[in-house]
A = this chain, B = another copy of it.
Amino acid sequence: MSAPISRFPVPDIADLPADLRERVLAVQEKSGFVPNVFLALAHRPEEFRAFFAYHDALMEKRTGLTKAEREMIVVATSGVNDCLYCVVAHGAILRIRAKNPRLGEQVAVNYRKAEITPRQRAMLDFAVKVTTRSAEVDDQDYATLAAHGFAPDDIWDIAAIAAMFAMSNRLANALGIRPNDEFYAMGR
């Protein structure tokens, strides 16, 4: 009755190249399950590697934006793009990282009403602008963020996370990646 994990074949974990298998098993050990995006992208090992290398560079960084803030960007922009996989999976991570069981839905549905700071609101305004009309980004946007205390490299991070999930949302939507049932209940 449940939809398939992806519109494309999903390889057995045992058949994966060693580096992918290691990554998949590590996330399984940490989370208790394998998020479907790992299985779906494993159909193309080279793209899997590039995707998660990019992801980790942006999402696991330890300076500047907090990890919860990085997830806010993912959830707000994935909401704009109507990406079920990313809203559900990253909504769960956001609830956990922010220790707030309401934040996932708030940021996905209307971040303007979420329980966030004015600084975070400015961050999400910019992220959504990058998502919906990046051709209009201008000096004023940079000045507004600077006035909220964001360093230039923080601004790069906001833009790059919004950009990376513009990709990720389209992949998940077009390849039909189904969110794991486990995500829905996490962090409540």
A interface list, Cβ under 8 A from B: 1-3, 7-8, 43-44, 46-47, 49-51, 53-54, 57-58, 79, 81-84, 87-88, 91, 101-102, 105-106, 108-110, 112-113, 115, 130-131, 134-138, 142, 152-153, 156, 159-160, 162-164, 166-171, 173-176, 178, 181, 184-185, 188
Contact B185 A159 (CB under 8 A): no
Copies in the complex: 6
Extra inter-chain contacts (9) besides given A82-B109, A91-B105, A188-B188, CB under 8 Å: A1-B115, A8-B153, A46-B53, A50-B51, A83-B135, A84-B110, A110-B135, A113-B176, A163-B166
Instruction: State the main secondary structure of chain A at its contact with B.
Output: helix
